[in-house]
Structure 1
Amino acid sequence: MRKTIALFVLTLVICSCVSATPIAVAEGEADRFESWNETDFLKDFVSNNLDRTVATAGEEKAGDYVLSVLEKMGYTTRKDNGLTSAKQRFDYVDSINGDANVGYNIVARKDVSGATEFVIIGCHYDNLTSYELNGEKVGGEGAGEATGVAVMLKLAYDLRYETLPFNVVFVAFGGNQLGLYGAEKFIGANQSIVDNTLLMLNLDSVGVGDYLYMYADEVSTKHEDFVYDLSEKLNLDVRKPPKDKKIVAAKIRDDSKLPYHHKGLLSENSLFLDYGVNTLNLFGYNWTGEGYGGESENHPDIVGTKRDTLSNYLAYYSESGQKKMETATALVKAAVTAEDFSAVMKESKKEKFDYSWLVSDKVRIGVSLGILAVLAAAAALVYVKLDKIQKNSKKAEDKSDDFQKQSEKVFEDF
């Protein structure tokens, strides 16, 4: 997914839950969800929200639509069956152009009596349809990106009455396209949830691309192995990142703990990873392509471009996209309903690698000194080499002078 990499303004604001005006869903819609697959959710969401450009009324309208669908599924503010829903407002300053914006995270909760731990299942719902860069609109309908919304809604429906030993939080993040602001504000406003999260599952552009990838962390983790082993047992076509992640030497944001990024980090999961949460990012792509990689060897990239329309998505990925989406749904359901899921997640969290040392002052000083030492050593080697060349050149000149003198003497004797 193409994102504008921006510096984040780290002002954590307590988000307020505000009442939303639900967008009407046709009579009998709730009954239809039982027969809907992920593509049905995708078509319905996109066709009703073609322009959900970040930081506009269209984005808020799309969030209200997601909220209304969740409420039709039974997620209400009355805590019926432990299912709740809310619209969380957040404010942020766009670091690209300095605008003060308002965004909304749509949150649905499946609370279990007595449970103190959480699983977060998230996606983003905004797009760039009418966003202008240098006077030109850059986005389409965001159909490819919306496949994450489709999978999240399918999971919200399938898991709503599943018996689980932990709470589940479904989050549709706003403010994604300008710099992952929705995820940033969610973490700041819901730390009691985040601190007790077993796993954050992120769904981003799941239906596009040649393959479905699963990225967890920069190091091997027990939770990644656990979920990947499940995919193999269930014969689900899910790929781990390639050895060459095609790393770009630039931070995602100013306070990022990693001094670089790659495709697996370009979504909400990266903020939760920095916070120390177990994460899994499921997305469609072709990570083995030339250069930075691309979506497909057979089709042009659509995500983040004007080509990202519902008609183009269905033309390119109608069957393969549905397959990837249902694979993601099946994998998440199998993971969270596995008997040993909670135990493995806890063990994995205990072993969580701490990346904070990468941005510590001591490391920066050490790296700087190391670079200076390398440069000094290189300069010394160059000096020695040049000195040797100069001495050899002087010897050659001396030999040449001797030869010339000997030649002159021979001619004189002759």
Structure 2
Amino acid sequence: MPDIDDFTCEVECIYKDERYAVRDNGAVFRYPRDGKRPRRYDNFWTFGKPNIVHGYMEIASVRIHAIVATAFLGLKPTKEHVVDHIDTNRRNNRVENLRWVTRLENILDNPITRKRIILRCGSIEAFLANPSLLRENELPPDLRWMRTVTNAEAQVSKKRLLEWAESDKEPSGGSLGAWVFNPSEKSTSTSDKVSTHDTQADLLIEEGQLGVWGYKQPGFQENNQSNALQDEEDRTPNLILSLTPGAAQVRVFFEDKPCEYPCTPQHFDGNPLAAYAANLTDDAVFWRNQDGDRTYSVAKYGYSSDGSSLIVMSRATYVWKGQVNGDSKPVSVTQLKPDEYDKNDLPCSLTEVTYEQKLFVHKRIETGFPSNEYLEEIFNQRIKSRE
């Protein structure tokens, strides 16, 4: 499975009035519009989300392959030109797998496509004489085998498909994906040591596969990035990959943005929740927003009654202060005098932490602005008896 940060070249382009950074591995980064607030699909690297109807990877309904082709191969030559996926894998948007062709060139010059047309229509000549034959004999495309690939996987799959196209063989059943990619046995480790950099599942944002450092700006590189799981059916809905490696958060509101959870363990042995609990020391930073101006620290924690999660009560470390212009902004209590605030009056938040799909998932137990007394009641109901 591919690493979103495994690339050799990165360029910028304008496509349909949007500015993108584009990598030769098929990943794109959409910039916010000048002077505008970032939108849902801005400011992160992604391979895109596969459209369940036609299988092409998309970002905000724009097909990724068209962006990549524009960036590396130049503008569309004519209205009749389309992007050809040479290996016919619609999720493989690596530069070397794309080319601008006319539809007729796609049929005549791509041996894999040509072989499939012959199987459907009898011959290329029969198709050219009556193109409706393809529609009459067309079946819904098999999208299950298609996936975003590493460079090595791309080479293996293309080689096997070209060999098939040049042979006299017809489909013989079995798993197309297993045959195309010819996967090898996964290596096993003798160590029980777990690193979230090695195991984190990048499958969470519905926009597509994000790298661990998906929210870094273009040009940022980091070693030991985790791989992205590609199967659409494996994705967990309503989750946002957090800014802290190994952490995710349940989306509460549509405009929620990724935050930091500094207590998330980066290496641990044994029980992952126990490793997380060891970091929940008094007043440790539990949560920090994307801008870094709002922080909650650990007030107390406990295990849920069934032991499957941690229940963490955290407390704000800032207060809102009015400004000369009439606005308010958060001000850290470290910048205030002791008589300017009461710690007991600082709002609290209640969060459930679970370990799922090799990620520490954070879920707010109560939304809105519940009183601290109410949160205390919920906390005591949810945790194991401390007697």
Larger Rg: 1
TM-score w.r.t. structure 1 length?
0.24
Q: Write 1 or 2 for the structure with the bigger share of helix.
A: 1
Of structures 1 and 2, the one with the larger relative CO (CA 8 A, separation 6+) is 1
Point out the structure with the larger strand share: 2
